[in-house]
Amino acid sequence: MKALLAQAAAAVIVLFARAVTAVRTIWPEGGLPARPCIYFANHSSHGDFVLVWAVLPPRLRQRTRPVAGAEYWLKSRLTRFIGSDVFNAVLIARERENRVHDPIQQMAEAIDAGSSLILFPEGTRNQTDAPLLPFKSGIFHLVATRPDTDLVPVWINNLNRVMPKGEIVPIPLICTVTFGNPLRVEPDEGKDVFLERMQTALLALSPRPAGSGE
């Protein structure tokens, strides 16, 4: 019963996200990897992972789990249902003191179980004028334990204008989600070099800003 409800909710969310944003998806030349991979994206709106999740082909979407903050999604019964049952999110504790599970371990287990992940390496929503905040190191530690996992950069454009932080009514603007070619961590690649390379790969997908506004 709950699973059925979750499926229906998922269908409604996908339809709503697509209707509001008339989203256009640009795929990489070689297509998306068939094996479990990590989609890493820029983060500027609450709806970011919903949109990435919504544009994935259904077959891949079914085994793709967003990585999200447990504090937020376990707050109420409704968010718990949406977070755990609809999106099947990998919920990680943000604050070190509250941690029961190691986040890297949680994500690695999800990959081992055959799931792909949607990850926002900036760690928090970008409210600045800079296109991208510096990446947190979690993504490096994760691929250090699973070095043969593909990393797919995903640039989400315009969603921050649709739903800026603190607003409740979405503005229906056209969003674009651009998937890049898969990357991997190089053997012996240092953390800083790796993070720098991933940031560059992600930024390379960003278009010239349409309006010069925010």
Partner 1 sequence: MSPANSDLLMLVTGIFGVLIFASIVGYALEQRFSPTGSNASIENLNARIKAWWVMVVLIGLAFVAGRIGVLVLFAFCSFAALREFVTLINTRRADHWALAAAFFLVVPIQYYLLWAEEYGIFSIFIPVYAFLLMPIVSVLRGDTERFLVRIAEVQWALMICVFCASHVPALLTLHIPGYEGRNVLLIAFLVIVVQLSDVLQYVWGKMFGRTRIAPKLSPSKTVEGFVGGVISATLIGSALWWITPFTPFQAGLLAFIITLMGFFGGLVMSAIKRDRGVKDWGHLIEGHGGLIDRLDSVVFSAPIFFHIVRYWWSL
Point out which residues bind partner 1 (CB under 8 A): 22, 24, 158, 161, 164, 167, 169, 171-174, 208, 210-214
Buried residues in 177-187 as b, exposed as e (16+ CB within 10 A):
bbbbebbebee
Beta carbon nearer to partner 1, 157 or 199: 157
**CA pair distance 34, 41, nearest whole angstrom:** 19
CA angle centred on 116, ends 126 and 28, rounded to 5°:
75
Beta carbon nearer to partner 1, 6 or 173: 173
Phi, psi of 31 (to 5 degrees): 80, 175
Helix (H) or strand (E) holding 67: strand 64-69
Q: How far is the CB of 155 from partner 1 (least distance, A)?
A: 16
Q: How far is the CB of 53 from partner 1 (least distance, A)?
A: 21
Beta carbon nearer to partner 1, 54 or 90: 54
Beta carbon nearer to partner 1, 5 or 15: 15
CA angle centred on 70, ends 120 and 137, rounded to 5°:
35
Q: How far is the CB of 159 from partner 1 (least distance, A)?
A: 12
Q: How far is the CB of 209 from partner 1 (least distance, A)?
A: 10
